[in-house]
Amino acid sequence: MAHSLPPSTELTAVNKVIDEKFVDIYTADKEAARLLDNGRTFAGVKARVFVAALGSHSYSSGIHHVRIRVDKGSPFLGIRSRSIPLVLCEGSAGRHCDSPSAYGWSVTNATVRNGIFHAEVENRRPGGDIYTLTLDCDQRRLGLVNENTNEQYEIEVDIHHTPFPWCLLSEYSNSDKTTTTTTTVNMSNRVGPDESVEVNSNTTRLQRLYAQFRKQKLLWIVFLVICIDVVISVVTITVLMNKSEREKTSTMDIATPTSSSIPSLTTTSSSSSSSTTTSTTTSEQLIPSGIIDKNTKWKKNAITVAGGHEAGSELNQLNEPWGIHVDNDDHSIYIADRNNHRIVRWEFGAKNGTVVAGGNGPGNEMDQLTQPTDVVLDKEKKYLIICDYKNRRVIRWSLQNSQDHQVLIPGILCYGLAMDSNGDLYISDYEAQQVIRWQQGNQKSNTVAGGNGDGDQFNQLDEPRYIFVDKDHSVYIADYMNNRVMKWIKNATEGSLIAPGQVFNENPNTMVRPKGVIVDHEGNIYMSSDGNHQITLWSPGAIQGTPVIGEKQSGHEPTQFQDPHDLSFDQQGNLYVVDRNNHRIQKFAIDRD
C-alpha cells in the first residue's frame, strides 16, 4: 500500500537526471503519437489508442530523480525492466503497462505493481502538474510526488519480476470517444528546483525580457569557464611535456641491464652477451608479484581510457560495457560492449576504439553477438573467446580472419571467463550454478566448482558472476546471491569461504552481491559489488572490506562510479574498472609516492 515519501526538497539531493528523454514509442497505430523537442515531449493525438514510450537511460544502482510535466491527460508514469521485451500481454486491453515488469502509477486513479492495477490513488485529473519520479535502485523502491499538490506515494519493486536495468515507461490513452484530444508528457528536466514552471503560454513581456537576460548571462559564464579551461590545459600540457623530456633524459643515462629486475607478468629470457630481452605473455590472470599488496594505494582520480562520451554506438562511445581483458603485450584493452552487441579493442591512449567482433546488430548468426558479458584472449593471442550471453554460447573469434568464427560451447548462460597458464578456459555458468573448465581439443568440459544446484552450502553456488584463476589454478568466484567470494582449489569437491557474507544492516562494509573479483599474489581480494560505488579490498580472514577507490555516492566525476563491474590489473599494477552506467573504462594509476 502506498505511503508518504520524505519532503520533495530532500528528493533532489541525491541525483537529479538532467538528460533523460523518450526514445522509443510502442503502439498499434503509428499515427497515434509523436516525440517532439528531441524526445523531451511525448504527445498523443488520437483518441482511445494506447501508446507507450521508453526513456533513454538504464538504471541499475543509486537513487535517481526525473521530473515530468503532464500538460493534459492522465498517463501512466513508472518503470519496467529493459532486459525484458516490451510486448502486450494477453487480456491487457492494449496496455503495455500491464506487463509483469511494470511498476508505477496511473496518476489519476491507480498504483501498478507487476502490471496489476490497484485503486489506491486519489482520483484527481492533472493539468499542467509536475511530478518527481524517484528510482531508488539500491532499496528497490519507486517514489512519486505531485509537486503541485504534494501528494506522495512509494512502492517496493520485486526485482525478480523487474530485474535491472530499469528504464522509464510512460503510457496513456485518450479517453474521449467523440473527439481527438492531445495528451502531452513533457520531460521537465530543464525546469530546475529553483525555477518557475510556465503554465500559461501568454507570458508577459517582462518575463520574456528577464528570460533573455538570464540566457545572455549564462552564455557569458560558459565563455569564461571555457577560457579558464583553456589556460589550465595549456599550463598542464607544458608541465607534462617538460616532465616527459626530463624522464627521457634520465632513461638515456641508465645503462642497459643484462636481465630484467622489474616484476612483471612476462616470461623473460636473457643472456650477458646480448642486451635484447625477449618476452611472451600468457593469458593467465597473474598479478605483479611484489608490486601489489594490501598496503598498495592508487591515485584517487581516474583516467578514462575508453568511452566516457555518454551511451552510444560511435567508435568513441560505449553502451553499458560489462567485461574487459587487458593485453599488456599489445598495449590495449578488449571490451565487451554489451548493449552495442560487440567487442571493441581500445589501444592505450587512443581516442576511438576498433570493432573486432560483432557490431552487426543483435542476432544469433555467426557474425553477430547479443549482449556479450565478457571476453579473453587465447594463449597464442590469435583468437578472442567471448561470452555471447543472450545467444547462450561461448564463441571463438579470429583476430586474423574475419570469417573464422566457431561456437566452442553451446547452450550455456555464460557470464564470466578466465584462462590459466596452460591455456585452459574457465567459464561461470550463471544458470547451471557452476564453473566449468574447457580444454582445447576436448569435446567435453569439466565442472571445477558448484554444479550441485543453487544453495549456500560450500559445494554449491547461487548465480556466479565474474571469476579469477591464480597461478595454482585455484578459482575465485563472485558468488552473487550468497553474498560471498568462494575459492575452489584444483580438483576440490567443495570451496572455502574467502570473503564472508554478513547482514547488511549490521556492517556498512559488508559484502553484498559481489560481481567483479581479482586477487593479488598474497591472496588479497579486490571486488566490485551491487549497490556499492567503491572497489573494496578483502584481506585473508578479514570480516569486512576496505574501500580502495571510489566514493560512497555514485556519480560521473573522476573519483566516482555508477555500477562498477569487471576489474583488471596491468603489469605495472594499475587498476582498471568497468564503470558500466557511465559507459566508460577507468584506469587508476598505482600511487608510488
Structure confidence at residue 322 (pLDDT): 96
Asked if residue 54 lies in contact with residue 22, where contact means CB atoms within 8 angstroms, the answer is yes
**Which three cell numbers mark 193?**
528546483
pLDDT in tens, 443-472: 778 999 999 999 999 999 999 999 999 999
Phi, psi of 364 (to 5 degrees): -110, 15
The three-state DSSP-derived secondary structure of 518-549 is EECCCCCEEEEECCCCEEEEECCCCCCCEEEE
How does pLDDT run across 68-106, given as a tens digit for each residue? 888 777 788 999 998 887 765 544 445 666 678 899 988
Query: For the segment 1-10, what is each residue's pLDDT rounded down to a tens digit?
Result: 222 233 333 3
- Residue 87, pLDDT score: 63
Which grid coordinates belong to 58? 538504464
pTM greater than 0.85: no
Instruction: With a cut of 90, say whether residue 474 has pLDDT above it.
Output: yes
Over residues 360-393, the pLDDT tens digits come to 999 999 999 999 999 999 999 999 999 999 999 9
More confident residue, 208 or 194: 208
The percent of residues in the chain predicted with pLDDT above 70, rounded, is 74
Please enumerate in sequence order all residues whose Cβ is within 8 A of that of 403, keeping only pairs 6 or more positions apart, or say none.
Answer: none
With b for 16 or more beta-carbon neighbours within 10 A and e for fewer, the 378-406 pattern comes to bbeeebbbbbbbbbebbbbbebeeeeebe
Looking at residue 64, its amino acid is: H
Q: What is the DSSP letter of 558?
A: T
Mean pLDDT of 28-53: 77
Tell me the CA distances in angstroms from 283 to 82, 377, 387, 423, one per residue in order. Answer: 34, 7, 16, 7
The Cα–Cα gap between 306 and 577 comes to 11
Report domain extents, the chain.
77-82+102-161, 297-591
Q: Hey, what CATH class is 297-591 in?
A: mainly beta
Three-state SS at 343? strand
Distance separating alpha carbons of residues 418 and 382, to the nearest angstrom: 16
Q: What pLDDT, on the 0 to 100 scale, is given for residue 18? A: 66
Q: Does 165 sit behind a cis peptide bond, omega within 30 degrees of 0 on the bond before it?
A: yes
- Give the pLDDT band (50/70/90) at residue 287: low
> Grid coordinates representing 457?
552450502
The yes-or-no verdict on residue 43 having pLDDT over 90 is no
Average pLDDT, the chain: 79
Give per-residue pLDDT as tens, 135-190: 999 889 999 988 888 888 899 998 888 888 999 988 876 554 433 434 455 654 43
Lowest mean pLDDT among 57-61, 201-205, 268-272, 534-538: 268-272
Res. 107: pLDDT tops 80: no
Helices (H), 265-381: none
User: C-alpha cell of 505?
Assistant: 544492516
- Tell me which of 439 and 444 has the higher pLDDT: 439
Q: Residue 345's beta-bridge partner residues?
A: 334, 354
